[in-house]
């Protein structure tokens, strides 16, 4: 099946091992606008996007919403800091369109990891992936200006950028919706 294939490829798993992992997965469908994870909760599961798009965002004191992450098919989601440390999360995760996800509960993952040294070795993959993604984001913010960042985002997720509200994208890029609107206009030429 497709899901297995993509998830397995992403994680370097196959056959029985992949099946073992899928055994503890919970499938869930969300509608556009559904909140998958609430602020001030402790994140006790990690997720994988089968189909759709999510945003992980933070509401600032001013009331302004800032997109911390925009994620699509094949991406993992969840506030990994809260998952790791057990601290309450400041983030909200919301579906930007109808979305199917697989959820893995921390308790199930921990049990799996304890069950077999294979999974103990495997468990490093999670923070490794999180770190690499985070590093890319830093490089994006540090090495490029707003316009270049938008360009790179377009390359990274071309179909999605056209479909989701502009304001989610602008705060992800660290600019105002108006600025992004003008950048778009500029780029058309």
Partner DNA sequence: CGCCAGGTTGAAGCGCTTCAACGTCTGTGG
Partner DNA sequence: CCACAGACGTTGAAGCGCTTCAACCTGGCG
Please identify, among the stretches 18-26, 101-109, 134-142, 157-165, the one whose residues bind a second copy according to the rule CB under 8 A.
Answer: 134-142
**Per rule CB under 8 A, is residue 11 in the interface with a second copy?**
no
Residue written as tokens 């995760």? 93
To the nearest whole angstrom, how small is the minimum distance from the Cβ of residue 98 to DNA? 13
List 4, 34, 65, 81, residue binding a second copy (CB under 8 A) = 81
* Tokens standing for residue 142: 């540090």
The answer for residues whose C-beta is within 8 angstroms of residue 121's C-beta and 6 or more apart is none
**Per rule CB under 7 A, is residue 38 in the interface with DNA?**
no
**Per rule CB under 7 A, is residue 143 in the interface with DNA?**
no
Burial label for 114, CB within 10 Å (0-12, 13-18, 19+), is exposed
Give, in degrees to the nearest 5, the angle at Cα 124 between 13 and 39: 105
Helix (H/G/I), strand (E/B), else coil: 87: coil
**Per rule CB under 7 A, is residue 8 in the interface with DNA?**
no
Please identify, among the stretches 6-14, 24-32, 141-149, 181-189, the one whose residues bind a second copy according to the rule CB under 8 A.
Answer: 141-149
User: How far is Cα 38 from Cα 106, in angstroms, rounded to an integer?
Assistant: 17
Which residues of the shown chain bind a second copy in the complex (CB under 8 A)?
58, 60, 66, 68, 80-81, 84-85, 117, 120-121, 123-124, 127-128, 130-132, 134-135, 137-139, 141-143, 174
């Amino acid at each position: 099946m497709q899901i297995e294939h993509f998830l397995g490829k992403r994680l370097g798993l196959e056959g029985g091992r992949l099946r073992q992992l899928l055994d503890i997965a919970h499938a869930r469908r969300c509608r556009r606008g559904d909140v998958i994870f609430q602020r001030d909760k402790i994140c006790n599961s990690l997720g994988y996007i089968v189909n759709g798009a999510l945003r992980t965002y933070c509401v600032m004191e001013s009331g302004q919403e800032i997109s911390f992450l925009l994620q699509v098919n094949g991406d993992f989601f969840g506030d990994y800091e809260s998952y790791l440390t057990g601290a309450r999360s400041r983030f909200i995760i919301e579906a930007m369109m109808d979305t199917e996800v697989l959820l893995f509960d921390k308790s199930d993952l921990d049990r799996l990891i304890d069950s077999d040294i294979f999974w103990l070795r495997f468990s490093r993959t999670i923070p490794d992936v999180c770190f690499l993604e985070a590093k890319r984001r830093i490089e994006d913010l540090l090495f490029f200006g707003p316009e270049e960042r938008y360009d790179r985002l377009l390359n990274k997720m071309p179909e999605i950028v056209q479909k989701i509200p502009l304001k989610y994208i602008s705060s992800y890029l660290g600019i105002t919706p108006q600025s992004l609107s003008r950048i778009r206009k500029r780029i058309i030429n």
